Amino acid sequence: MKSYYKYLCMIALAMTGVSCKKYLDVIPDNVGTIDYAFRNRNEAENYLFACYNAMQSTADIHYNAGFVTSGETLFPNDLQDNQGVDPQGFNLVRGTQTSQNPTLNFWDGANGGQAMFKAIRKCNTMLENIDKPIDLTAGEKERWIAEVKFLKAYYNYYLYRMYGPIPIVDKNLPINASAEDVRIKRAPADSVVNYIVRLIDEAVPGLPPVIQNQTQELGRITKTIALCVKAEVLATAASPLFNGNPDFASLKNKDGQLLFKTAYDATKWDRAAAACLAAITTFEANGQRLHVQTDLTSNIPVSLTDSLKKVLNLQTTITDKWETNPELIWALNAHFGYGNQEYFMPRLTAGAAGSLIAQGTIAAPISQQELFYTNKGVPITEDNTWDYANRYTKQTGDDANRFYIHNGYETVKAHFNREPRFYADMAFDGGVWYGNGVTGNGENALFVAGKGPSSFAGFKDYIRLNETGYWPKKLVNYLTIYDKSMTWEDFHMPLIRVAGMYLLYAEILNEQGKASSEVIPYIDRIRTRAGLPGVVEAWTKYSKNPTKYATQDGLRQIIHQERRIELAFEGQAGWDLRRWKELQSVMAKPLQGWAFLEESFVNYYRPHTIITPVFNNRNYLWPIKADDLVVNNNLVQNPNW
């Protein structure tokens, strides 16, 4: 499988061309080589892999808008040595975005963004020349056409999420097209969505239900992937950002054409429901399901306690190999190992504390810690058994909590009596870290010494590399070892998994106005796997608002929080919070950490503001680069840029 990924990436890089029109890449370059590129099956297959390139390039989370703008993580951009991290995406929460030179520019392809219009053009070229290879079988031709139509749809969807209405370029313009022909205006949002869905519908019949030859083809598009993306597209179009949003009422083309309908359309949720149910029915028929404890690998000792088994089951839901993970529907081909995991990993040993291999610089704020439920399965602000008011006072780890918090270590009360996903997803001062070469039954597991110990050589420098005292543990394979040297155990970052689809369907059903009894079972599947009581039981027994789940608005809040917890750090929250129009409220609060600069650490557990985010209504959509508006005078800018 790794050889296939390497081959795909090499081909994609070799096929990269130079755009003739940087403002909207619609005219094919390298025209003289097109006949050569499609002279036979092997050359055409190379071009097919090149069509995948832009999608695979989005695997770098440093340039993933759903990851860096979600408020889940922050990066200390004042470090003298960033050790390979490009901070420009993380800095967007500081208000650095401009229309003169946009960060993560996926329109043109600059500042961390991929040139999506160039990718679309490449797909068009493939479709226009697919009949040329005489040695291409009918079955291969059908599948390749289907794959490229999906990729074309996905690239349009990526642009739609970022920019809203975009120009539709269904066919490449001829090389002798006039300048006016190239100046394509933006299509209305509904037209863009219908176009994307049509491409996916055309692709689905030609795609395989599953990948049979995983060694050679894992990473290529399947029918299940396409159906899941279709459901995502329609749910996005039905969500508040794009469905009757008054903030976009004035967005028009220069000829007066409205780009958004101003009235809310409830039937959009009906389309999304049908698509999501079709996707769920398909992946369940193919044997895909939630990852459960029986899926734990042979590396897990039989003697491991139930509490640690729950944590490891949740961790390996993300880090298990794609080939054997029943929950993973789609991931990108890049391996999440060297170049990634070290940014999320604390130093756990004296050997690691004296090493500069890993910095653990990408931190999670206190607000992300507080997002997770208590062990009763309700928010910490609602739990009638949990001491929310005194959550920042100190408490010492004891025998009952020793598999979550190191026995005898003084930490903060907020770390006690939390749900298993909290202990699986976040590392914190005093938190147990099962793995890093120390496995066994967990009794001697390593732990995070966020306040020390001072005996670790260079520990002060280590602390200052993480500004909050929280690490996204979820993004580190428990088999990865960091001591005096580092051994990475790779995994593939999920793009779509079963849990996300169940929660998406629950959201859609609730927005349709379905009874809570029809919605909640899909949420409870996720909660049961997470070791929590069901929604009704948890809120009835433990919440200060025991009937919250019985109203549409209350259940909406539950679903949104459940989705943010379950999919935390997976590059989903930024997109979800955008389409829900909730990102501005999240960014209205300072991103804080503990007082890590305290020399004595007596006042370590004092919230300290790291970033005061800058986010306005205009930030829900990306700006089109100002130069593009000059070159193509038929384009209009997004609101307030």
DSSP letters spanning 449-466: -TT--TTSTTHHHHHHTS
Rounded Cα distance between 89 and 498, Å, is: 28
Q: Which helix (H) or strand (E) holds 387?
A: none
Number of domains in the chain: 1
- 133 preceded by a cis bond (ω within 30 of 0): no
482 φ, ψ to 5°?
Answer: -130, 105
Count other C-beta atoms under 10 Å from residue 633's C-beta: 11
Q: Is 13 domain-assigned? A: yes
Q: Is 29 domain-assigned? A: yes
Rounded Cα distance between 619 and 632, Å, is: 23
- Token pair in block for residue 499: 């849990």
Rounded Cα distance between 115 and 317, Å, is: 32
Query: What's the pLDDT at 82?
Result: 59
Query: What's the pLDDT at 179?
Result: 81
- Mean pLDDT for 6-12 is 40
Higher pLDDT, residue 501 or 600: 501
pLDDT digits (tens, 9 = 90+) for 489-514: 999 989 999 999 999 999 999 999 99
Query: What's the pLDDT at 618?
Result: 97
Count other C-beta atoms under 10 Å from residue 438's C-beta: 15
For every residue of 498-545, DSSP letters joined together read HHHHHHHHHHHHHHHT--HHHHHHHHHHHHHHTT---HHHHHHHHBSS
Helix, strand, coil percentages (3-state) for the chain, rounded to 5, are 45, 10, 50
pLDDT digits (tens, 9 = 90+) for 39-96: 999 999 999 999 999 988 888 888 999 999 999 999 877 655 556 788 899 999 999 9
- Token pair in block for residue 317: 């839901």
Range of the domain at 176: 2-230+239-270+624-630
Query: What's the pLDDT at 245?
Result: 97
Rounded Cα distance between 298 and 346, Å, is: 26
The percentage of residues in the chain with a pLDDT greater than 70, rounded to a whole number, is 90
**Band of residue 465 on the pLDDT scale cut at 50, 70, 90:** low
* Residue with the two structure tokens 């398909």: 282
Q: Are strands 432-433 and 446-447 parallel, antiparallel or unpaired?
A: antiparallel
Q: Is 127 domain-assigned? A: yes
- Mean pLDDT for 317-334 is 91
Q: Taking the model in full, what pTM does it have?
A: 0.93
Q: Is 336 domain-assigned? A: no
Query: What's the pLDDT at 7?
Result: 42
- Mean pLDDT for 338-359 is 81
Per DSSP, the three-state class of 325 is coil
Query: What's the pLDDT at 339?
Result: 65
| CATH number of the domain to which 143 belongs | 1.25.40.390
Higher pLDDT, residue 401 or 29: 401
Name the DSSP letter for residue 363.
B
Rounded Cα distance between 156 and 165, Å, is: 10
Query: What's the pLDDT at 22?
Result: 38
The answer to whether 104 and 5 have CB atoms below 8 angstroms apart is no
Rounded Cα distance between 160 and 146, Å, is: 21
The answer to whether 635 and 629 have CB atoms below 8 angstroms apart is yes
Q: Is 166 domain-assigned? A: yes
Higher pLDDT, residue 486 or 471: 471
Q: Is 439 domain-assigned? A: no
User: How high is the mean pLDDT of the chain?
Assistant: 90
453, pLDDT greater than 70: no
105 φ, ψ to 5°?
Answer: -85, 95
Q: Is 169 domain-assigned? A: yes
457, pLDDT greater than 50: no
Rounded Cα distance between 54 and 151, Å, is: 9
Query: What's the pLDDT at 17?
Result: 37
Rounded Cα distance between 71 and 73, Å, is: 6
- The per-residue b/e assignment along 358-372, b for 16 or more CB within 10 angstroms, e otherwise, is bbbbbbbbbbbbebb
Q: Which helix (H) or strand (E) holds 378?
A: none
298, pLDDT greater than 80: no
Who's near 606: CB < 8 A, 6+ residues apart?
A: 392, 594, 595, 598
Q: Is 11 domain-assigned? A: yes
Who's near 238: CB < 8 A, 6+ residues apart?
A: 265, 268, 269, 271, 272, 508, 511
Query: What's the pLDDT at 545?
Result: 98
- The per-residue b/e assignment along 562-580, b for 16 or more CB within 10 angstroms, e otherwise, is bbbbbbbbbbbbbbbbbbb
- Token pair in block for residue 305: 């306690």
